[in-house]
Amino acid sequence: MLTKEILNKFKNLTILCIGDIMLDRFCYGDVERISPEAPVPIFKILKEKSMLGGTGNVIANLASLNIKTKYAGATGNDDSAVMIEKFLSDAKCKYSLIKPENYNTTTKIRMIASNNHLLRSDKEDFLILNDDQTSQFEKLVEVEIKDSDIVLVSDYKKGLLTNKTTQMIISLCKKHNKKVLVDPKERDFSKYSNADIVKPNLKEFELVSGEKFNTQAPDFKLKIKASALEVMKKYNIKNLLITLSKDGMIFIPQAGDAIQISAEAKEVFDVSGAGDTSLAVLGASIAAGASITDAMKLANLASGIVVGKLGTACVTPDELGQAIDRSNGMHKLSQVSKIISREDAIKKAKELKEKNKIIGFTNGCFDVMHLGHIHSFASTKNECDVLFVGINTDKSVKRLRGDKYPLQDEKTRSYVVASLEFVDYVVLFDEDTALGLVEDLKPDLIAKEGYKIQNWPEAQKVLSYGGRAIELERIEDYSTSAVLKKIDGLNLDTKGEEPLNV
């Protein structure tokens, strides 16, 4: 069974990434009219976002998983290269770059309106290294390979990875006894000869093998294995791992049985960079000592997470951990995936805003759930697309109410709230008020009963940046105090205690 133990080993890894790095730029905006100059839409840019692309996305995913990374490759001497170096530094990635003269760093610019990709504009040159640059590249690669746990080669067919340089990398890996995984782009797999694992997608494999495959056919596994064995024999490749999009992936060794796993059932929002995420997690899992089956499962879970995000995205340890729990059937109820860390909540809120979703927020201790709480959650959800609920930690409640509280621990309170269909995400906070969490999430609206906006700091914060604050109507005769008084009337141990007013 796949366990989270493998994730704990990631922080001890050092992984070297080699390949074509690029800058991904995303321009988000609206199209509301046609240009009077030509029959084309006018795209009004509202915001822009830049990030690492190509091999850089593999690095970003590794860094997101707290894995030490290194990069060996090439950029130009331009503004895009400056941004790439900044992003690499931010990811704490040690990098060694060759910078050929008159070479433009590959930059991809995507125009997105209402979550629809309208246009992609590329600025790129095909990289051609001279003999001196190739020799320099070989030296820096060998230096970085020595103390790496595994080497990931990401070929985007932009010129860095020629037959000569790719074979040089693989030879150096063999010399220093390091596994090398390759994400290919060439139809001629002789370029990847002697690699430990080559990871094409199904379309790429079909071009290499010259055959078409129906993943739903009863004999699919038998046929693709036979074809893969021929390809591996022809090109002297040890193992093939073929990704099958919505149908998962299949691993085929030179000797032994093929291993196929199904994809995670997931709403696909954007497939950008999913292959990079898969390569990163697969390589990290193998380096950490996972079996190939568990490595595939983990890579598959990671890919399923990122396709539900907007643009080129990364996966976090918390997201992977929750996905592992779900895959093991440890948590049959949906509330587990709703309870997220503060860091993940910040990222999730940002992603949802990029999808033009309205973010709602409310908070409390929720020690004794009653109809008033249910009404508050339902009323708030009616005003937003996604509802985040902040819950005071046990320590926070004790500071506010005394050592006798909370009556129920934070885990119980979180599970109860997360079980409600109106609630999308639950986030614990340790401060006395939710003001800090509001500042982090920046919800579009905040709602709560019993609080006047003028005396409500969290509401004032939301209003300060253009959001909405709603004073919810209180349902009479339903409160925590009322519930505790009824319990007290039953002569239970709560007699004489101060009611918890939440």
Task: Give catalytic residue positions.
Answer: 276
Which residues, in sequence order, are CB contacts of 248 under 8 Å at separation 6+?
260, 261, 262, 263, 300
Structure tokens, 338:
């709703």
What's the Cα-to-Cα distance from 440 to each of 347, 385, 466, rounded to whole Å?
10, 18, 15
* Residue 404 and residue 410 in contact, taking contact as beta carbons nearer than 8 Å: no
Cα–Cα dist 270/307, whole Å: 5
Nearest C-alpha neighbor of 2 from the set 328, 221, 223: 328
* Residue 248 and residue 235 in contact, taking contact as beta carbons nearer than 8 Å: no
CA 393 from chain center: how many Å?
26
CA 34 from chain center: how many Å?
36
Main-chain dihedrals φ then ψ at residue 236, nearest 5 degrees: 55, 55
Nearest C-alpha neighbor of 198 from the set 233, 259, 242, 262: 242
Cα–Cα dist 421/247, whole Å: 30
Q: How many CB atoms lie within 10 A of CB 238?
A: 16
SS3 371: helix
Strands 359-364, 445-449: parallel, antiparallel or unpaired by DSSP? parallel
Which single residue is written with the structure tokens 């040890």?
238
What's the Cα-to-Cα distance from 321 to each of 302, 315, 428, rounded to whole Å?
10, 10, 18
CB environment 77-116: b (16+ within 10 A), e (fewer): ebebbebbeebbeebebebbbbebeebebbbbbbbbbeee
